[in-house]
Every structure is written in C-alpha cells, then in structure tokens.
Amino acid sequence: MAKVLMPLPARDFDPTETAIPWRILTQAGHEVVFATPAGEPGAADDIMVSGQGLDPWGFAPGFKTVALVGRILGANADARSAYRAMAASPAFGAPLRWAALDVGAFDGLLLPGGHRARGMRAFLESATLQALVVAFFQSARPVGAICHGVVLAARSIDPRTGRSVLFGRKTTALTWRLERAAHGIARITRFWDPNYYRTYTERPGEPAGYASVEHEVARALRSPADFLDVPRDAAHYTRKSSGLARDSDEDATPAWVVRDGNYVSARWPGDAHTFAKAFAELLTEAVPPS
C-alpha cells in the first residue's frame, strides 16, 4: 500500500479530478492524505458539484436549480457520488496543513485541478506547494497532475537548475482548445461572470490564449513540442478531443493521458478515471505490494 498526498486549495478544486482518483486509489488499497492551507476540510467548486449557475438564469434564486448547461459541463453522476463519499471520509475531514508537509512521509503526490480563480489562484501561486512539488520530483517519487494541477508543477522551479521541474519532460494539461470552448459557452450562459472558466486572462498586448493553461505550461518546457495533445491519427480522436465525452471505469476511449517516467499527466475531468489508473500503476511500480 502506498501513501499518497493530495494537496487542495481551501475551496474551488474540481470535484471530479479529486474524488475519482481518491476512489480509484483507495479501492486499490492505497491511502490518500489530504492537505489544505489551514488544515481545515476544503470545499469543491460548488458550480461543478451541483451544475447550478451555468445557465443564463443561474443568478436568479428561484430558477438556478434548473440546470441544463450545468448537466453537461459540471460533474457527472459518477463524480458526484464519488465526491460525496470522499467528503464524508475521515481523511478528507482531517487534512494536514500545507506548511506541515514532509515529502519523506509519502510515496507519491497527486495534483488535482480546478479553474475558478477565487480559490485556485492561492493553490497555483503557493510558494510552499511549489517547493513541495520540487522536493517530490527530486526524490523521484511518483507524481500525477491533471488539468490546472499541471500549472502548479510548471511553476515549481528546481533551484539546482533554475528551470521548471517539467523542463525536459513530456506532459499534457488542459488544452487551449478545451479551455476556450468552455469559456466560450460560459461567457454567454454565465454572462454576469464571463471569465468563470478562465483562471487567468490575458493582459493588454498578449495574444489570445497566452494566459491559458496550455500556453503557460508549454513555456516552462524544453520545447513547445513537449506539450502533447491528441494526435489527429489517434484512435477515437473525436471522442478524445471534442470535450463532450468523458471516460469511465469501463471506457477509456475518451481519455488522453501522458506518462513520462515517474510522472503522469492528464487534461481535464474527462480523463480522470484513466489518469487515476495510470497513477496507480506508477505507485505499484514504485511501492510493490508487500
């Protein structure tokens, strides 16, 4: 059994990218330990959990419970069920503090994502977590990152090289294509909060997508070509790239996961099952069953 650390922001992490890996890892016999800024239980992005607030009437108290767009963009039934179970677990209710974490106490690190700026920026910009990520990569322990979790890894600078821990590695993350599509929908349907899907937006003079996950991560790599998206000739290309299909325990065809040594990455909630299984394989290789 491996002991896996999953750091979380105080709020607004993605429910699918946390709860599906938690379920798959714990069912495989691994222990998942959570950590938050103050050692208090975190809370996922409520819009992703409920699906409420993504429709044009989502700001109106009497109508917000009617979710149409939210049923497509939010967590699906499988993820909501996993999130309820995770939130009720003893480990989730007693997280460690970020500042108290010791790399040596864990066998692996899993970095989930989430896009809502109000909670995720503190996670992505934390010097404490960036130093932790560096220490995990230096230790050669397994690391998994999905969606915006890859941004945290990209921002983690190894003081020995002055470069990101992802420099020289192959990775994926939330692609600009997927981020732009979700933003395009939400800026219309959630018109009172048009940048809900953009954690960071471009400053004057920056080209479209410059502040996106894909382009920030790509700038941290040895070459932009080290950022891997689904190739056109891949089997099930449309299912993998449309943003309309999500993987499941039984169906990995919509997923796109990239492994480079002891590091595995994925793009978005639609990859979560396959991502978690790939990370579990890394753990098994690193910590064989006794």
Asked if 266 and 275 count as a contact pair (C-beta separation under 8 A), the reply is yes
pLDDT tens series, the chain, 290 aa = 899 999 999 999 999 999 999 999 999 999 999 999 999 999 999 999 998 888 776 565 655 565 666 677 889 999 999 999 999 999 999 999 999 999 999 999 999 999 999 999 999 999 999 999 999 999 999 999 999 999 999 999 999 999 999 999 999 999 999 999 999 998 998 899 999 999 999 999 999 999 999 999 999 999 999 999 999 999 999 999 999 999 999 999 999 999 999 999 999 999 999 999 999 999 999 877 66
Is the alpha carbon torsion for 99, 113, 287, 289 positive or negative? positive
**pLDDT value at position 17?**
98
All residues at 6 or more sequence positions from 248 whose CB lies less than 8 Å from its CB, including other chains: 78, 273
Q: Which two tokens stand for residue 269?
A: 């909630």
Give yes or no for a contact between 10 and 36, defined as CB atoms under 8 angstroms apart: yes
- Output the pTM of the full model: 0.96
Report the residue count for the chain. 290
Which residues lie below 8 Å from residue 59, measured CB to CB, with a gap of 6+? 53, 192
Q: Characterize the bridge pairing of strands 96-97 and 31-36.
A: parallel
Q: Domains for the chain: give ranges and CATH numbers.
A: 3-286 (3.40.50.880)
The whole-angstrom separation of Cα 184 and Cα 69 is 13
Location of structure tokens 């922001």: 9
Strand partners, 13: 44
User: What kind and span of H or E run contains 96?
Assistant: strand 96-97
The Cα–Cα gap between 257 and 264 comes to 7
Contact 45, 9 (CB under 8 A): no
One-letter amino acid at 138 equals Q
Angle between helices 15-27 and 77-87 (to 10 degrees): 70
Identity of the residue numbered 30? H
